[in-house]
Amino acid sequence: MPRRRVHVVINPAAGQDEPILNTLNRVFQEAEIDWDISLTKQAGDARQQAQIAAQSGVDIVAVYGGDGTVAEVASGLLGTSIPLAILPGGTANVLSVELGIPATLPLACQLICDPKATIRKMDMGQVNDHYFMLRVGIGFEAAMVENADRGLKDKYGVFAYLWSAMQNLYKPEVARYQLIIDGKQIETEGVNCMIANSGNMGQAGLNFLPSINVSDGLLDIIVVQEASLRTFFDVIGSIAGLKQVESDQLLQASLRDKADNAGQPATQSLQYWQGREVSLVTDPPQTIQFDGEILGKVAIQCKIIPQAISILVPPVQPVAAG
């Protein structure tokens, strides 16, 4: 498919500090690609700019920013056949990891120019009036995202999430979750609820549950019933990209500071369902996030939109014989 006209939506507040325009100009000029850009200033800009670009007849819409900006641009392409290219520019870039998109800007730009690049159809989720590509997080995960402010992320990158998690690690709030999944009512308690389209935790091959698939037309609902120091530290350490030995060292340091927590059993109890439509009310109300954006403490309605968006991904590598 020819890709001779590319529009790039750029979030200038994204977490990376790099010469964006210089790289775009160099790579696209070498490939003889006509390109232009638009800059976001506030929420809603990315969606509107993607819609305008699609209506103008571009071959592809690219987005430079984090997962929240990617989801917003994708929502602007709903109902079109225009492919989306992701140029990772955020703090964690979980979706690009999920799809195997190169982590560096030059290589991600080159993917747009690669005639062997392929298109993957991907589901999207909707929560109230918003769209998400990854997941909705309620409870511990949302508090972690909420407390990792822009200044922390600019200074510490993905480690900002680790620092934020430690603030809530020892006394996570337990809530009662009132769920309706495809018409079935469920009540349970937990410290975290995840309504996921993707289960990737920010590292290649690392998924919260291996059954979660971004193209299966289903939402995956996971409730963590029992908080444990070991469980949450391992998960957050994985998000931050820590090796196991580094995670263990930080864990032991935290235990020395809070000796009264030492010796507690490391247990995890999960409940798991799949469905196409989910509603949720929490008691007490808990913070809710979607793809890194804070929604607040509200009741939510979620649904899956199957095969909603076309994503440009690296070519499929042939399986070696023998």
Per-residue pLDDT tens over the stretch 234-271 = 555 444 444 343 444 443 443 344 334 333 333 346 78
Q: Are strands 192-196 and 60-65 parallel, antiparallel or unpaired?
A: unpaired
Q: Which superfamily does CATH assign the domain made up of 5-115 to?
A: Probable inorganic polyphosphate/atp-NAD kinase; domain 1 (3.40.50.10330)
Q: What is the mean pLDDT of residues 185-211?
A: 78
124 and 132 in contact (C-beta within 8 Å)? yes
Q: What is the mean pLDDT of residues 33-57?
A: 96
Global model pTM greater than 0.85? no
Query: Residue 259's pLDDT is what?
Result: 37
Distance CA 152, CA 173 (A): 23
Statement: residue 36 has pLDDT above 90:
yes
Q: Higher model confidence: residue 207 or residue 75?
A: 75
Query: Residue 174's pLDDT is what?
Result: 86
Phi and psi dihedrals of 24, rounded to 5? -60, -45
- Residue that the structure tokens 């247990």 belong to: 267
Evaluate the omega torsion of the peptide bond into residue 318 and state whether it is cis, within 30 degrees of 0. Answer: no
**Domain boundaries 130-307, corresponding CATH code:** 2.60.200.40
214 and 291 in contact (C-beta within 8 Å)? no
Give me the sign of the Cα torsion angle 13, 198, 97, 80: negative
What are 286's two structure tokens?
Answer: 């808990």
B/e letters for 276-304, b = 16+ CB within 10 Å, e = fewer, are: eebebebeeebbbbbbbbebeeeebebeb
Nearest to 197 by CA among 318, 99, 61: 99
Q: What is the total residue count of the chain?
A: 322
What are 245's two structure tokens?
Answer: 């030995």
Query: Residue 109's pLDDT is what?
Result: 96
Q: Higher model confidence: residue 168 or residue 301?
A: 301
B/e letters for 127-153, b = 16+ CB within 10 Å, e = fewer, are: beebbbbbbbbbbbbbbbbebbeeebb
Q: What is the mean pLDDT of residues 121-134?
A: 95
Q: What is the mean pLDDT of residues 6-26?
A: 90
Q: What is the mean pLDDT of residues 76-80?
A: 95
Residues forming a β-bridge with 61: 7, 84
Nearest to 193 by CA among 206, 181, 205, 211: 181
Distance CA 272, CA 210 (A): 12
Q: Higher model confidence: residue 242 or residue 35?
A: 35
Phi and psi dihedrals of 295, rounded to 5? -95, -25
Residue ranges covered by each domain of the chain: 5-115, 130-307
Q: What is the mean pLDDT of residues 316-320?
A: 58
